[in-house]
């Protein structure tokens, strides 16, 4: 679809009558309710963001698969949200259809743990601990979902998804499904094939786990909880780590060394507790946050020569913003509000 064709399709989709009709069709064909002009801030950990033209929540893989295929068949811009971490949604909101992924089914099959893509990573960690299976403890420190974690090859506490993932079930751009290996997913530091193929959607993942005494795993989870409490600004709206760590260094160290802890624009500030977190005092806007991200990156580059790359993804309609164009589109967390039928995935 050409840009002109997308613009023409978008004009049709965004009129009130068309949105109402599409909402009714989603209810009939997919079986979920679609809400018009739904405010999105409540669905993100940063607590900012304007409305979605249409918003729906899916609760299982069947609904997720169906609504993605529906959006593609109508060339509707589609954004998928998990738990809303690792993203900043524009104050103007997101055009098209936003789908919250609450597909949270899971099962343990011997030394394999299978989870649908909307399963919170923290819950995966506690579920496997209660079953006496080790491997997913680091998920307790990841605020997003299984789908977002696969998309980003998320990691924490010296572990990452690539080390324990066996396969991921993916809805491909042509509507077929495939079970992809780690090699096929091309998992790298905070990267995967899904980030570069916005029409591919993770449906579920299978992880390798191993039997260990549940008390030993519980002790490790307690250790992670204590570390997070001592080192991260918990209980304050944020998107998680703001920047990716550059090779051989720490983004937080570079930001702190540049004297930027406490740096503020509007209601957004660099955390005094952890310099790689930008927090919202409750009065911040998406524009405040984005401006501060840009300013921090510019100052660190000027002071150190290192260009920090954002880990957070800027979603939605930033056309009226003074900031540069949004981050590159990806399958689990891009700005694809103008990407026609492609699925933008967020969350992480």
Question: 276 with 242: CB under 8 angstroms?
Answer: yes
Catalytic residue among 36, 123, 190, 220: 190
Distance CA 294, CA 342 (A): 27
- The C-alpha atoms of residue 232 and residue 146 are separated, in whole angstroms, by 22
Tokens of 57: 């929540």
What residue has token string 């790359």?
A: 309
DSSP symbol at 328: P
**Phi and psi based region of residue 135 (left: phi greater than 0; alpha: psi -120 to 50; beta: remaining):** left
Residue 119 phi/psi, 5° resolution?
Answer: -65, 125
Cβ contact 328:134 at 8 Å:
no
> Residue 190 catalytic?
yes
Euclidean distance between CA atoms 86 and 88, whole angstroms: 7
Parallel, antiparallel, or unpaired: how do β-strands 159-160 and 133-134 relate? Answer: unpaired
In whole angstroms, give the CA distance from residue 277 to residue 305.
Answer: 21
- Among 192, 241, 331, 337, the active-site one is 241
CA distance 319 to 289: 16
Locus of tokens 């491909």: 172
Neighbours of 215 (CB within 10 A): 9
- Options 63, 200, 311, 332, the catalytic residue: 311
User: Could you tell me which residues come within 8 angstroms of residue 19 by beta carbon, excluding any fewer than 6 positions away?
Assistant: 13, 36, 53, 54
- Tell me the C-alpha distance between 11 and 249, whole Å: 46
**Residue 27: which of 61, 60, 55 has the closest Cα?**
55
Q: Is 47 a catalytic residue?
A: no
DSSP line for 157-181: TTEEHHHHEEEEEEE-TTS-EEEEE
For this structure, is 311 an active site residue? yes
Token pair for 241: 């780590």
Residues with a catalytic annotation lie at 190, 241, 311
């Amino acid at each position: 679809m050409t840009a002109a064709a997308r613009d023409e399709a978008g004009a049709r989709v965004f009129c009130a009558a068309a949105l109402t009709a599409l909402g009714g069709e989603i209810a009939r064909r997919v079986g979920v309710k679609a809400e018009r002009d739904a405010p999105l801030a409540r669905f993100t950990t940063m607590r900012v963001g304007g409305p979605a033209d249409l918003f729906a929540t899916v609760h299982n893989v069947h609904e997720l698969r169906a609504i993605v295929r529906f959006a593609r068949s109508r060339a509707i811009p589609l954004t998928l949200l998990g738990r809303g971490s690792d993203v900043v949604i524009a104050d103007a909101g997101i055009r098209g259809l936003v789908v919250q992924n609450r597909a949270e089914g899971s099962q343990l099959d011997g030394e394999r743990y299978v989870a649908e893509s909307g399963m919170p990573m923290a819950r995966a960690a506690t579920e496997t601990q209660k079953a006496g299976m080790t491997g997913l403890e680091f998920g307790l420190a990841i605020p997003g979902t299984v789908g977002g974690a696969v998309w980003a090859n998320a990691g924490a506490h010296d572990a990452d998804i690539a080390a324990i993932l066996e396969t991921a079930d993916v809805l491909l751009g042509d509507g077929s499904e495939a079970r992809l290996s780690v090699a096929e997913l091309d998992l790298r530091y905070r990267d995967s094939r899904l980030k570069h193929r916005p029409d591919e959607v993770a449906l579920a993942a299978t992880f390798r786990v191993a039997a260990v005494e549940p008390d030993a795993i519980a002790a490790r989870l307690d250790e992670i909880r204590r570390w997070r409490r001592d080192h991260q600004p918990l209980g304050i709206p944020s998107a998680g780590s703001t920047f990716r760590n550059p090779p051989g260094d720490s983004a937080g160290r570079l930001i702190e060394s540049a004297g930027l802890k406490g740096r503020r624009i509007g209601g957004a500030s660099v955390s005094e507790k952890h310099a790689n977190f930008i927090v919202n005092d409750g009065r911040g806007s998406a524009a405040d946050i984005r401006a501060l991200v840009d300013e921090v990156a510019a100052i660190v580059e000027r002071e150190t020569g290192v260009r920090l790359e954002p880990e957070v993804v800027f979603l939605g309609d930033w056309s009226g913003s003074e900031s540069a164009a949004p981050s590159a589109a990806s399958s689990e967390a891009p700005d694809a509000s103008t990407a026609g039928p492609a699925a933008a995935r967020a969350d992480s």
